[in-house]
Amino acid sequence: MSDAGVTWAGTHTFGAARLVMARSIEEAAEVLRSADGPVRALGTRHSFHDLADTEGTLVSLVDVPADPVLDEAAHTVTVGAGTRYGVLALWLEERGWALANMGSLPHISIAGATQTGTHGSGVGNGNLSSSVEALEFLDAVGTTVTVQRGDMDFHALAVGLGAFGVVTRVTLDIQPTYQVQQSVLAGITWEDFLADSDHLLAAAYSVSVFTKWGEPTLEQVWVKAREGRDPAIASGWMGGTLLDGPTRLVDGDPADLTEQGTPGAWLHRLPHFRLDGTPSNGDEIQTEYFVAREDAADALRAVRELAPAIDPLLMITELRTVAADGLWLSGAYGRDTLAIHFTWRNLPGPVAAVLPKIEAALAPFAPRPHWGKWHAFDSERIAAAFPRLADAREVFERLDPHGRFVNKHLTRLGVR
């Protein structure tokens, strides 16, 4: 076993025989040409299990220069796959450009986030993968392959779990820079929220609800209003109180959070955490399920029935929306989506025991799990949750017929 280390939160210890920290795409290609056995790409380690692991060689591209290339006419930027979103965001903002959305953490790599269907928030905003216009990857013998939006295999590969190759560069849609104001409300009741969940979730460009399940009120609602588009949120809206001053998430330092109360550039408001701050708690386990937005209120009511079992293990839940897309393994494939996220205390046994109960409660609403986070789905349930899984698997098998990028996680879930 190599000293490949652990995932970001320490929830999985990598068992790969070797870890190569590539400093160029050519060096990564040489790994594929020379290594014996399977290979998997490793990003910024923000998964929570063995999705990125292998018995063979791990190759990381986080040290490969970002080398961004801006195409203003096409409204795109092409950048190294291991680049962190926050690093690209700073580069774009300096040139007057922006991304449509970002995740909670700007610390995550572009390839890792897009390959797993990770997302930001907003009823009109797709997940981060939906902004992928093209990607370049190394195949099993180290040859560079490019696939673009509209190509035959694109819908399988944009959220492809690294099951077909090592992604090296990604082309993303961009737009002119814009301003966002982030406001935080407290005191909105669960009752008022569930009576008209869409009213709250669609209140601004991006909305996040932070809460526990057994309390009568939502702890905090973060409203990220895009300047020139969204109405101002004032105290009293939906019965809530607008908080004055920096707020705290769980036991974190407010200084690690993006600024609230005043307008600022998109990259300093859309993520919850600052690039130069500590991302989230760290000593945690994460789980996330996606259900159709039209089922939001009923799905949330079902989970609330489990509050006595959930809340003692929970740091915080976050509720967000994601617009529908056509990417086969996306959690938002074919339906506007509510994301139900759990940040758990680092209690592996009790957390593993409560997940089947949550999944049973959500079963009437056809939940899909986040690919990079803990869940209890087996291959049969994964196939039912992702209706184009068989089509995606056919693409992966065709592009990688000898299973160079297969691992136990992918076979366990029936992806390979």
Digit-coded pLDDT (tens) for 322-365 = 999 999 999 999 999 999 999 999 999 999 999 999 999 999 99
Residue 246, pLDDT > 80, answer no
CATH topology of domain 179-377: Alpha-Beta Plaits (3.30.70)
- Of the candidates 276, 272, 243, which has an alpha carbon nearest to the alpha carbon of residue 258? 272
- The percentage of residues in the chain with a pLDDT greater than 70, rounded to a whole number, is 98
Q: How far apart are the first and last CA of the chain?
A: 24
pLDDT confidence of residue 249 = 78
CB 392 within 8 A of CB 328: yes
Digit-coded pLDDT (tens) for 315-329 = 999 999 999 999 999
pLDDT confidence of residue 277 = 79
User: Looking at residues 105-117, what average pLDDT do you find?
Assistant: 96
Phi, psi (degrees; rounded to nearest 5) at 231: -70, 155
For residue 249 the two structure tokens come to 């998430």
Domain boundaries, the chain: 69-177, 179-377
Check residues 254 and 38 and name the one with the higher pLDDT. Answer: 38
Digit-coded pLDDT (tens) for 154-209 = 999 999 999 999 999 999 999 999 999 999 999 999 999 999 999 999 999 999 99
pTM assigned to the model = 0.96
CA torsion sign for 268, 269, 270, 272 is: positive
pLDDT confidence of residue 280 = 65
Query: Strands 206-211, 179-186: parallel, antiparallel or unpaired by DSSP?
Result: unpaired
CATH classification number, 69-177, choose in 1.10.150.120, 3.40.309.10, 3.10.310.40, 3.30.465.10: 3.30.465.10
The Cα 37–Cα 229 span in angstroms is 52
CB 404 within 8 A of CB 32: yes
Please classify residue 30 by burial: count the beta carbons closer than 10 Å to its beta carbon, then call 0-12 exposed, 13-18 middle and 19+ buried: middle
Query: How far lies 402's CA from each of 38, 39, 41, 164, in Å?
Result: 10, 12, 17, 11
For residue 55 the two structure tokens come to 């018995």
- The percentage of residues in the chain with a pLDDT greater than 90, rounded to a whole number, is 91
pLDDT confidence of residue 2 = 65
For residue 161 the two structure tokens come to 């779990």
Digit-coded pLDDT (tens) for 363-402 = 999 999 999 999 999 999 999 999 999 999 999 999 999 9
